[in-house]
């Protein structure tokens, strides 16, 4: 059941690098617009918000890899590391722009906000939790940590939840854009507990359906 | 359209926010929730003809036509504007004291508050239709009668030497410069004098975050963000935001602080 045509094996590597390049385009383009006066009246806030939105989008794509394979048979697992790392880079840029450009490196204000504002506290915890995931995203740590690596990288679930909550708490009212992003994360997280029973059911159906050999 | 007014009594030695920013960076959810939505989506709005109904606890309830309102003693009033979201502007309004209008309708002794209501026209205001409505309509606001009578509180009919652009609350809006911007209700169709404290839209939406008074106060944080500083729109650039300290009552403390003497402003935020 192949919905999308399979990519020739020799293009797997280059396609991952292409994903990094394409994935960083929104940041580069928004930065260019901001620095050249094209992001409107309040360019720093706009840039900050765009980076945050893209961080959420890459978290959504990262979480979508598994259900896409289970439900539609599209195996894009080779892109998951790049998607996760792109999410991390965007969270890091989102934070840096807030600290450097928005608050102008006023560290008192930065720490006061992190401690006092729940949505900023949540955002900060998510960024901190992403650091070990990014550091251990390479093949060396995957081999080295084994089962622990898998457990550890399940941290992406609370991080995604935190990201959605951060967004929900930061807006004055939940309009279409926040709703769509938050709903996507909620759906993808809700799929996780359903996954095992679903796969069991799928496997059972396959065994029943598959034709028995006519002769032994 | 061009609008002439005589100089008003309040002077402000601060750089005006560029007109382009004043007319394209707006919160006016009736036209959408993005800052650029009002200027992009307000083109179909028809601010004329217009009437404002003034009723409630008054001796002389009355409907004012726009022509009549434009004959009020209008003058230039340059004020600071501080949004609850942490940004600010300096805007050259044209308007007349709200007290002048209230005098004409003769408030009764029992009137303690003034309530205001924005027009509802989904066919002209795209933010008022669709699946996700950020707020219930009409947008409503209110002031205590003594606040409403304060000479700083005006009904604005213009800015930058012209009649009000649609996105800024045409044809007539409130401006209360010592309170957060959302108190300065736009496109007013009704003003009522009441005995009870009126309903206000943002307080109904989230009472913990938006109080009835909503005086600009750097010492009382919004539950989700600090109010100690503000970003002056139109100043600074991409690599240097123009952050400044927020002043109590938005810098109008000398004029208005006495309205609140003896009140706990942390409890009455």
Count CB neighbours of B153 within 10 A. Answer: 24
Taking the C-alpha atoms of residue B27 and residue B234, their distance in angstroms, rounded to an integer, is: 16
- Contacts (Cβ under 8 Å, ≥6 apart) of B39: B23, B24, B26, B165, B167
Taking the C-alpha atoms of residue A174 and residue A188, their distance in angstroms, rounded to an integer, is: 20
Task: Using DSSP bridges, classify how beta strands B62-65 and B173-175 pair: parallel, antiparallel or unpaired.
Answer: unpaired
Whether B242 has its CB under 8 Å from any CB of chain A: the answer is: no
Taking the C-alpha atoms of residue B166 and residue A119, their distance in angstroms, rounded to an integer, is: 34
| Per-residue pLDDT at A215 | 59
The position carrying tokens 């940004």 is B87
Taking the C-alpha atoms of residue B164 and residue B111, their distance in angstroms, rounded to an integer, is: 30
At B224, the pLDDT band (50, 70, 90 cuts) reads confident
Each residue's pLDDT tens digit in chain A (216 positions)? 456 778 888 999 999 999 999 999 999 999 999 999 888 888 999 999 999 999 999 999 999 999 999 999 999 999 999 999 999 999 999 999 999 998 888 888 899 889 888 899 999 999 999 999 999 999 999 999 999 999 999 999 999 999 999 999 988 788 888 999 999 999 999 999 999 999 999 889 887 766 655 555
Taking the C-alpha atoms of residue B28 and residue B18, their distance in angstroms, rounded to an integer, is: 19
**Six token digits for residue B196:** 């009870």
- Residue B225 contacts residue B135 (beta carbons within 8 Å): no
Q: What is the pLDDT of residues B227-248, one digit of tens each?
A: 999 999 988 788 877 789 999 9
Best residue of A40, A175, A183 to probe chain B, by most B CBs closer than 10 Å: A175
Whether B3 has its CB under 8 Å from any CB of chain A: the answer is: no
| Per-residue pLDDT at A212 | 58
**Six token digits for residue B127:** 């933010």
Q: Taking CA B139 as the corner, what is the angle to CA B10 and CA B174, rounded to the nearest 5 degrees?
A: 15
Taking the C-alpha atoms of residue A26 and residue A32, their distance in angstroms, rounded to an integer, is: 10
Whether residue B139 is predicted with pLDDT greater than 70 in this model: the reply is yes
The residue extents of the domains of chain A are 14-194
Q: What is the pLDDT of residues B95-108, one digit of tens each?
A: 999 999 999 999 99
Question: Nearest CB to A117: which of B225, B231, B243?
Answer: B225
DSSP B10: -
| Per-residue pLDDT at A96 | 97
- Residue A195 contacts residue A66 (beta carbons within 8 Å): yes
Question: Nearest CB to B134: which of A40, A102, A175?
Answer: A175
| Per-residue pLDDT at A105 | 84
Q: What is the least distance, in Å, from the CA of A45 to any CA of chain B?
A: 9
Count CB neighbours of B42 within 10 A. Answer: 26
- Residue B14 contacts residue B234 (beta carbons within 8 Å): no
**Six token digits for residue A164:** 């959605």
Taking the C-alpha atoms of residue B250 and residue B227, their distance in angstroms, rounded to an integer, is: 11
DSSP B59: S
- Residue A133 contacts residue A155 (beta carbons within 8 Å): yes
Size of interface A-B (CB pairs under 8 A): 67
Taking the C-alpha atoms of residue A143 and residue A16, their distance in angstroms, rounded to an integer, is: 20
What residue of B is the nearest CA neighbor of A167? B224
The residue extents of the domains of chain B are 6-260
Taking the C-alpha atoms of residue A186 and residue A162, their distance in angstroms, rounded to an integer, is: 11
A180 contacts in B (CB within 8 Å)?
Answer: none
Q: What is the least distance, in Å, from the CA of A100 to any CA of chain B?
A: 8
Q: Taking CA B103 as the corner, what is the angle to CA B101 and CA B108, rounded to the nearest 5 degrees?
A: 120
Taking the C-alpha atoms of residue B246 and residue B97, their distance in angstroms, rounded to an integer, is: 25
Q: What is the least distance, in Å, from the CA of A32 to any CA of chain B?
A: 11
Whether B222 has its CB under 8 Å from any CB of chain A: the answer is: no
Contact between A41 and B35 using a beta-carbon 8 Å cutoff: yes
Mean pLDDT within B158-187: 98
**Six token digits for residue A150:** 């898998």
Taking the C-alpha atoms of residue A182 and residue A187, their distance in angstroms, rounded to an integer, is: 9
CATH 3.90.420.10 matches B6-260: yes
B70: three-class secondary structure by DSSP: helix
- Contacts (Cβ under 8 Å, ≥6 apart) of B119: B125, B138, B187, B188, B189
Whether A179 has its CB under 8 Å from any CB of chain B: the answer is: yes
A172 contacts in B (CB within 8 Å)?
Answer: 33, 85, 134
Question: Nearest CB to A42: which of B35, B134, B243?
Answer: B35
ipTM: 0.77
Mean model confidence pLDDT for chain B: 95
- Residue B233 contacts residue B17 (beta carbons within 8 Å): yes
| Per-residue pLDDT at B62 | 97
């Amino acid at each position: 059941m192949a919905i999308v045509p399979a990519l020739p094996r020799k293009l797997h590597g280059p396609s991952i690098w292409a994903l990094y390049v394409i994935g960083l385009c929104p940041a580069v383009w928004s930065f260019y617009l901001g620095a050249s006066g094209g992001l409107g009246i309040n360019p720093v806030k706009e840039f900050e918000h765009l980076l945050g939105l893209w961080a959420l989008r890459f978290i959504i794509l990262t979480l979508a890899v598994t259900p896409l394979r289970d439900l539609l048979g599209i195996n894009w697992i080779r892109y998951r590391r790049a998607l996760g790392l792109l999410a991390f880079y965007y969270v890091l840029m989102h934070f840096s722009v807030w600290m450097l450009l928005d608050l102008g490196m006023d560290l008192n204000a930065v720490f006061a906000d992190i401690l006092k504002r729940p949505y900023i506290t949540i955002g900060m915890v998510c960024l901190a939790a992403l650091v070990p995931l990014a550091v251990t995203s390479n093949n060396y740590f995957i081999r080295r940590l084994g089962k622990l690596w898998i457990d550890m990288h399940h941290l992406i679930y609370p991080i995604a939840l935190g990201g959605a909550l951060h967004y929900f708490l930061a807006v004055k009212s939940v309009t279409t854009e926040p709703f769509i992003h938050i709903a996507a994360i909620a759906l993808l997280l809700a799929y996780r507990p359903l996954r095992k029973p679903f796969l069991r059911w799928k496997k059972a159906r396959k065994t029943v359906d598959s034709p028995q050999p006519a002769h032994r | 359209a061009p609008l002439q007014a005589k100089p008003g009594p309040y002077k402000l030695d601060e750089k005006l926010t560029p007109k382009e920013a004043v007319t394209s960076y707006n919160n006016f959810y009736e036209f959408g929730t993005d800052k650029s939505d009002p200027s992009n989506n307000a083109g179909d709005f028809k601010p004329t003809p217009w009437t404002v109904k003034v009723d409630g606890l008054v001796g002389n309830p009355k409907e004012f036509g726009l022509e009549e309102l434009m004959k009020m003693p209008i003058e230039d009033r340059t004020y600071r504007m501080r949004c609850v979201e942490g940004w600010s502007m300096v805007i050259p309004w044209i308007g007349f004291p709200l007290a002048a209008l209230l005098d004409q309708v003769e408030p009764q002794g029992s009137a303690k508050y003034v309530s205001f209501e924005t027009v509802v026209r989904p066919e002209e205001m795209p933010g008022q239709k669709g699946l996700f409505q950020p707020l219930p309509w009409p947008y409503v606001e209110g002031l205590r009668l003594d606040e409403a009578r304060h000479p700083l509180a005006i009904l604005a009919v213009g800015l930058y030497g012209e009649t009000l652009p649609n996105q800024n609350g045409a044809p007539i809006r409130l401006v209360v410069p010592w309170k957060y911007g959302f108190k300065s209700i736009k496109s007013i169709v009704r003003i009522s004098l009441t005995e009870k404290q009126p309903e206000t839209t943002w307080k109904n939406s989230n009472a913990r975050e938006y109080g009835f008074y909503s005086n600009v106060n750097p010492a009382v944080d919004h539950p989700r963000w600090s109010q100690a500083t503000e970003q002056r729109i139109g100043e600074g650039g991409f690599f240097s935001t123009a952050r400044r300290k927020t002043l109590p009552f938005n810098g109008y403390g000398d004029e208005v602080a006495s309205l609140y003497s003896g009140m706990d402003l942390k409890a009455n935020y």
